[in-house]
Amino acid sequence: MISCKNNRDEEVILPKEKFRFRPSVYGIIRNGDKICICTNKGNGKYWFPGGGINVCELRKDALLREIDEETGLKNVQIGPLVGSHENFYYYEPTDEASHYYLFFYECQTNEVTLKTNEEIDDDEVINVKWVSISELKKDDFSGLNDEIFGMIQALK
């Protein structure tokens, strides 16, 4: 049995056979002193633009695709890998459990216009916006550990 968080940030316990391996990539996208964040529909918490890497897709290609789908940003420069994290997650609406390897890249853009909720091509994401790094708190994020929040604070 594996303990994990669900889409409402609650702990659930599931059999290990239910999990699939899912590498994912996320962009901590900067524009000046602000970063781009999304709100998770299931729990109202923040997260970063990004998502799953498809088979035979390179991490950076997946990141650019996911950023475009969720934010509409097209002129994004992918910088260094700033961290990684492993977790287990259960998405109740589709009854899918995943063993995630999350890769986080620092990114830059000069674009400011983001997709509206009606334009976002993702079932889990709403309210994409720019937020000042100094305004963010660890509790604003879903499933964020100290290491990942430290990466954000180091961008100040």
Q: What is the CATH number of domain 2-153?
A: 3.90.79.10
| Structure confidence by residue, pLDDT tens digits, 65-97 | 999 999 999 999 999 998 888 989 998 888 999
**Residue ranges of domains in the chain:** 2-153
pLDDT category at 38 given cuts 50, 70, 90 is very high
| Structure confidence by residue, pLDDT tens digits, 97-151 | 999 999 999 999 999 999 999 998 777 889 999 999 889 888 888 766 677 778 7
User: What are the tokens at 67?
Assistant: 């950023």
Residue 112: the pLDDT is 95
Residue 18: the pLDDT is 96
